[in-house]
Structure 1
Amino acid sequence: MTKTKWAVDTAHSGIDFSVRHMVISSVKGSFNSYSASIEADPKDLTTASIDFSVDLASVDTRNEDRDNHLRSADFFDVEQFPTMTFKSTSVEKTDEDEYNVTGDLTLHGVTRQETFKVVYEGSGLDPWGNEKVGFSATGKLNRGDYGLVYNAALETGGVLIGDQIKVSLEIQASKEA
């Protein structure tokens, strides 16, 4: 198969994250608005070109006060930095249907190279004859690397918010006509 353009089906996809809270638990959230440009042979992603853009104002942790704080200058500062982007620079096959996708991630005005583990989950036709493919991806970001350093010390030791952010994507995409 040759490289094909794929449109992300946002109704059947998701971008989720989690971060340690008070050293004792994790808080989870999602981004509800994003777009992507994917050109790939889904059976061999080594030549893929992947571009993601996430609307940071769409953050959703199921708590309005926390979401508004995340949008503020203490964290994402969506007034100045409305999007997070990722542009792939290399794709390495690590196992059957498994890849390391490395690229430039830009967040809060800082661009750093990050690698995500990507799994090709399969392909098929929907009831209307449209070709679909599925991918899952996981990665970890250090929020301090991007200047997101807001925190508070706890009386019992440790800090309110962990440095490591776990990111998880479930992507279903349709073959563009």
Structure 2
Amino acid sequence: MTKTKWALDQVHSSVDFSIKHMMIANVKGTFNQFDAVIEADPADLTTANIQFTVDLSSIDTRNADRDNHLRSADFFDVENHPSMTFQSSNIVSKGDGEYDVTGELSIHGVTKTETFAVTFEGSGKDPWGNEKVGFTVEGSIKRSEYGLTWNSALETGGVLVGDKVKISLDVQAAKA
């Protein structure tokens, strides 16, 4: 197959994260608004061009007060930094549909090189004849490296919010 443009199917995709809270539990959340530009041969992603954009104001942790705090200048500062973006720069096949996708991740005005593990989950046609592909993405970043350093010390030691953010995406796309 040749390199093809794929349109993100937002209804069947998700951008999720989890982070330690009080050093004892994980808080999970999602972003409800995101988009991607994908040009790829799903059978060989090594030549793909992947651009991903997340609307940070769409954060949803199932708690309005926490979501508003995360949108504030203490964290994402969505008024000045409304989006998180990723642009692939190097993709290495690990065999069997597994890839390391490296690129530039920009959050809060800071851009760093990050690598995410991507798995090609397969392809097929939906009931209306549209060709679809699916991928899962896993990785983690340190929020402090992006200037997201707000925290609160705990009386018992440690901090309220962990530094490591686990990122998980389920992506379905349709042949454009």
TM score, norm. by length of structure 1: 0.99
Q: What pairs up with 1:35-46 in 2 under 5 angstroms?
A: 35-46=35-46
Q: Which amino acid aligns with 1:88?
A: S
Residue of structure 1 in register with 2:158 after alignment: 158
Deviations 1:85-126 (A, max 9, x none): 000000000121000000000000000000000000000000
1:123-165 residue CA offsets vs partner (Å, 9 max, x unmatched): 0000000000000000101000000000011011110000000
The 5 Å alignment of 1:71-110 reads 71-110=71-110
In the other structure, the counterpart of 1:172 is: 172
Return the offset for 1:8.
0.6
Aligned with 1:127: secondary structure?
A: coil
Superposed, 1:47-86 pairs within 5 Å as 47-86=47-86
SS in 2 for 1:141: strand
3-state secondary structure, aligned to 2:67: helix
Could you say what the CA RMSD is over the residues aligned between the two structures, in angstroms? Answer: 0.4
> Which residues of structure 1 form unaligned runs of 5+?
none
TM-score (norm 2): 0.99
1:41-83 CA-partner distances (Å, limit 9, x unpaired):
0010000000001000000000000000000000000000000
- Following the alignment from structure 1 to structure 2, what is the Cα–Cα distance between the partners of residues 17 and 95? 26
Q: Percent identity?
A: 64
Q: What is the number of residues matched between the two proteins?
A: 176
The offset of 1:84, in angstroms, is 0.3
4+ aligned runs moved over 2 Å, structure 1: none
CA distance in 2, matches of 1:95, 1:31: 30
- In structure 1, distance between residues paired with 2:130 and 2:96: 25
For residues 38 and 90 of structure 2, what CA distance do their matches in structure 1 show? 14
Q: Which residue of 2 aligns with 1:17?
A: 17
Q: Helix, strand or coil: the match of 2:66?
A: helix
SS of alignment partner, residue 54 of structure 2: strand
Query: Which amino acid in 1 is paired with 2:129?
Result: G
